[in-house]
Amino acid sequence: MYQGTFYDSLKKFNRTTKIGRKTLTSKIKGWFKFIVLFVNIIVLAAAIISFLDYKGDLNWYVYGNDPSVLAYALMFNLVWYLGFVMSPFMGTYACVNQGWCYWGTFNQAIGRLGFFRLRVRDTNACLNCKTVDCANACPVGITDMRSSFISKGEFKSFKCIGVGDCVEACPYDNIFFYDVRHAIKDKFRKKSS
């Protein structure tokens, strides 16, 4: 549902809205951290209550259902659809940009902790690039990746969810995913040389 011609057309449109522009860049805002913490506390509390219900130590249900069912229904149904409907105003992947999406922020955290990052083959290609198609293609709205490519040769951000639209959009075929496979290959190359 978050893909296709209609949704891709929103990338340019939602970067002109007041709320959408506030989420452009890889920087994390204070309100984002608060929302992520709040959502994770709700999910963790529901999981603990569910576990205690399962063990028989607690007998707490909401309308005959386990509390985790209510928490997940709220997160993945109501909030997700609100995010989709609000995408013209709040930006594409608004649930991830705003921190509402537990699964999206979990993936972001794992990506931040792991080996995943974006790298470029030639920093000069980024320096001479006039189109900045990578930033324009990013569904999350990370507009500052080019400066990181130029200065460090790579980009790693908590907000990057690894969709790969930037890799496909690069007119120079310069960007690639650097993940655990590359890290292992590099480790073996250093040992053999």
Q: Give residue 149's pLDDT.
A: 93
Q: What is the mean pLDDT of the chain?
A: 82
Report angle CA 152, 155, 159 to the nearest 5 degrees. 150
- 44 phi and psi angles, rounded to 5 deg: -65, -45
Distances (CA, A) of 141 to 56, 96, 165: 46, 11, 11
Q: For 58-108, write each residue's pLDDT tens digit.
A: 888 888 888 888 877 777 777 777 777 777 777 667 777 777 777 777 777
Residue 52, pLDDT above cutoff 70: yes
CA gap 105, 44 in Å, rounded? 14
Q: Give residue 167's pLDDT.
A: 94
Q: Give residue 3's pLDDT.
A: 61
Cβ contact 35:100 at 8 Å: yes
Q: Give residue 56's pLDDT.
A: 87
- Residue 146, token pair as written in the block: 């080019």
CA gap 92, 13 in Å, rounded? 10
20-49 mean pLDDT = 83
29-37 mean pLDDT = 84
Q: In terms of C-beta density within 10 A (0-12 exposed, 13-18 middle, 19 or more buried), how is residue 159 classed?
A: buried
Kindly state the percentage of the chain with pLDDT values over 90: 22
Q: Give residue 82's pLDDT.
A: 78
Residue 119, pLDDT above cutoff 90: yes
The pTM score is 0.73
Left if phi > 0, otherwise alpha if psi is -120 to 50, otherwise beta: which for 75? alpha
The region of weakest confidence among 3-12, 18-27, 49-58, 165-174 is 3-12
Residue 1, pLDDT above cutoff 60: no
Sorted by where each begins, the domain ranges of the chain are 27-101, 114-192
Kindly state the percentage of the chain with pLDDT values over 70: 92
Confidence at 176, pLDDT banded by 50, 70, 90: very high
Residues 6+ apart with CB under 8 A from 83: 90, 94, 95, 98, 100, 101
Q: For 128-159, write each residue's pLDDT tens digit.
A: 999 999 988 888 888 889 999 999 999 988 88
